[in-house]
Structure 1
Amino acid sequence: MGNVTETKVQGQGSLKMNAQLGRWRKSPVFYPLIGFIVIFVVMALVNDNFLTANNLSNVARQVSIIAIIAVGMTCAILTGGIDLSVGPVMALSGTLTAGLMIAGFPVELAVLAGLLVGALFGAGNGLFVAYAKMPPIIVTLATMGIARGLALIYTGGYPISGLPEGFAFLGRGEIFGLQLPILVMLVVYILAFILLNKTPIGRYIYAIGGNEEAARLSGVRVSRYKLLVYTLSGLTAALAGIVLTSRLMSGQPNAGVGFELDAIAAVVLGGTAIAGGRGAIVGTLISAMMLGVLNNGLNLMGVLPYVQNVIKGGIILLAIYISRSRDK
């Protein structure tokens, strides 16, 4: 009798464990986390320099730029849209911030102006997408060229250097031993997590991506929240551009080339459905770290950049395939 009872208890425990594992596997974070762990372990095994404190710190600092951009990109893709202009917008915001400081503006005012320009560019994208009903990919492709062109016009095609030393703290400083770009990244993700998971705005963003017409019929002001999403995307791009400018102590008009693709890769690999409506901001952060670890490990191994692009492209295709298969 005792053996029968014990067997039943073990069976119930096994069923609960299997059910919990099944729920965990359905989470958007599951595959990104597994991928990150696998790539991290592989890179640690194949290169002795990978696990050094200095190298891991460099990885986190380098990842912070793409990760910040990917926050706004996640919000855009969750609504079923996309923002291809983030790379040029970060370049424009960074060069404008640098130029204002050279012109004698206080650091704080120059930074605010750079953030404002990014937010305004994002709002412009949102107006065309939400109110003019234009396809996001076309709108942001056009503003991608506009932002890059303005950055080159503003700088004459040359970097802006000679920035005040106090500005370097944002990109190179530390607080309690934690590099400031990493701290900024973590704060942005905490705020994004709260927005998407603890507020009505987050629920509306998911609802719009899941079924825009149903959301509209439910009373959600779809256009207003799309405008908000693209404004946030422009703002996070501007913040990333300013952090990068501070780290380099130079406003680079060609900064951010290809960053939109890296941000999209982080979002898709992070489990956000490319059609919108499903995803998790935590998955985006994990995938951004995974891509950073992959890039760093391949560099340490001496793999050519062109080969790295092939490898990353293959990983992205695999992630999309897994995502589509899971949706079915």
Structure 2
Amino acid sequence: MQEVADRKEKKFDAFRFFYKYGTLLTIVVLIVFFSLVTDSFMQSSNMINILRSISIVTIIAIGITISLSVNGFDLSVGSVASLSNAIVISMFVWFSQNTFVAIFAALIAALLVGAFNAFMIVKVKIPDMLLTLATMFIVQGIALTYTKGATVSENMVMSDGSFATGALSSFFLQLGRIPWIIIIMIISVILVHIFLTYTKHGRFMYVIGGNEEAARLSGIPVNKYKVTAYLLSALFAAIGGIVLASRVATAEINAGSPYLMDAVAATFIGFSVLGAGKPNAIGTFFGAVLIGILSNGLVMMSVPYYSMDIVKGTVLAFALAITYYKLKK
């Protein structure tokens, strides 16, 4: 009997090891594999390019991480990023505003969406996934209506036939370039990690996410923290949209929507990093790194772009399988 118990314990330890370090090991394996099959993968310029490519995904995913900490789920972040992207560029191009006003307007618009989500979820009691799915379409429609379905850029043709006279500021354009785009990502990850891990407010959010009723009975203002979570989720989605606007210097139609899937995948992959078993900023960052390396390596191998979602979806499914299997043990 003791021998059988020892074997079970060894199996459990092996699983726990791969649960804790599987994402990090996968990153290492992918780096080694892509380094062997492509000559330029390990070049410093490509490493920087990977970090730049995951910056916006990571920033948006950080917002999802916060919403998940209270057992919520915000699917509207991609549309919020699109709206913020459109507003910040239009403030420059259409209204000739300065950088502060442009960014402030984009952030306020996003926070209004976050407040709407919070009200409908906390007060009206609509399930978060269903409500934010509806909000995703609403905000997407608002962004399209606001831009009249056009790409907003410098010197664009206005509806009256004239040309837009506003211009993007040089300071704003720096935000989407190296090293600032990477610095903004790193600061976002560090701040949210500190907030969730080392402050009482972050710990309260985790308690709510673990058992909302127990948190309520222990005196934690559950509704207050859930509202805060959705406001912060919208805020980081807006930051992602603003950085995207700075990077491409235009506001494309639904520019933020493609980032939703990668952000969700990065967040759930991050659950298992170092055995956290819960949404966390550091894990989300490594989840984004994994996706970034995977995407970059597949491009270098000339894998067709339309096949990449299959790989990303498979990685997400695998991460979810490990996470929820572990949570049930």
- 1-structure distance, mates of 2:36, 2:326: 31
Matched with 1:230 is 230
The 8 Å contact of residues 29 and 280 in structure 1, kept in 2 or not, is answered as: no
Matched with 1:258 is 258
**CA shift in 2, pair 1:28/1:106, >3 Å:** farther
Matched with 1:307 is 307
- 2-structure distance, mates of 1:45, 1:85: 39
Matched with 1:100 is 91
Matched with 1:53 is 44
**CA shift in 2, pair 1:27/1:135, >3 Å:** farther
- 2-structure distance, mates of 1:79, 1:121: 18
Deviation at 1:113, TM superposition (A): 1.2
* Aligned length, in residue pairs: 303
TM-score when scaled to structure 1?
0.87
Deviation at 1:144, TM superposition (A): 0.4
- 1-structure distance, mates of 2:15, 2:267: 19
The 8 Å contact of residues 24 and 30 in structure 1, kept in 2 or not, is answered as: no
TM-score when scaled to structure 2?
0.87
Q: CA RMSD in A?
A: 2.3
Q: Match for 1:96: what amino acid?
A: I
- 1-structure distance, mates of 2:14, 2:195: 24
Q: Does residue 157 of the first structure (1) align with residue 149 of the second (2)? A: yes
**CA shift in 2, pair 1:75/1:277, >3 Å:** farther
The correspondence for 1:171, drawn from 149, 173, 176, is: 176
Q: Match for 1:49: what amino acid?
A: S
Deviation at 1:24, TM superposition (A): 11
Deviation at 1:26, TM superposition (A): 6.5
Q: Match for 1:168: what amino acid?
A: L
**CA shift in 2, pair 1:23/1:307, >3 Å:** closer
User: What do the CA deviations read for 1:144-171 (whole angstroms, capped 9, x no partner)?
Assistant: 0111111111111111111424121111
Matched with 2:239 is 239
Question: What percentage of residue pairs aligned between the two structures are identical?
Answer: 38
The 8 Å contact of residues 19 and 322 in structure 2, kept in 1 or not, is answered as: no
The 8 Å contact of residues 190 and 281 in structure 2, kept in 1 or not, is answered as: no
Q: Match for 1:291: what amino acid?
A: I
The 8 Å contact of residues 119 and 231 in structure 1, kept in 2 or not, is answered as: yes
Deviation at 1:28, TM superposition (A): 7.1
Q: Match for 1:50: what amino acid?
A: F
The 8 Å contact of residues 151 and 253 in structure 2, kept in 1 or not, is answered as: yes
**Which structure 2 segments of 5+ residues have no match?**
1-8, 155-166
**CA shift in 2, pair 1:24/1:187, >3 Å:** farther
**CA shift in 2, pair 1:123/1:318, >3 Å:** same
Q: Match for 2:69: what amino acid?
A: L
The 8 Å contact of residues 66 and 279 in structure 2, kept in 1 or not, is answered as: no
Deviation at 1:129, TM superposition (A): 1.1
**CA shift in 2, pair 1:26/1:119, >3 Å:** farther
3-state SS in 1 of match to 2:96: coil
**CA shift in 2, pair 1:29/1:71, >3 Å:** farther
* Consecutive aligned runs of 4 or more in structure 1 exceeding 4 Å deviation: 22-29
- 1-structure distance, mates of 2:232, 2:22: 27
**CA shift in 2, pair 1:27/1:69, >3 Å:** farther
Q: Match for 1:110: what amino acid?
A: A
User: What do the CA deviations read for 1:165-196 (whole angstroms, capped 9, x no partner)?
Assistant: 41211112x5xxxx111000001111101110
- 2-structure distance, mates of 1:117, 1:137: 21
Deviation at 1:325, TM superposition (A): 2.4
The 8 Å contact of residues 148 and 253 in structure 1, kept in 2 or not, is answered as: no
User: What do the CA deviations read for 1:206-236 (whole angstroms, capped 9, x no partner)?
Assistant: 1111111111111111111011001001000
- 2-structure distance, mates of 1:142, 1:261: 17
Q: Match for 2:85: what amino acid?
A: G
- 2-structure distance, mates of 1:169, 1:92: 21
The 8 Å contact of residues 103 and 242 in structure 2, kept in 1 or not, is answered as: yes
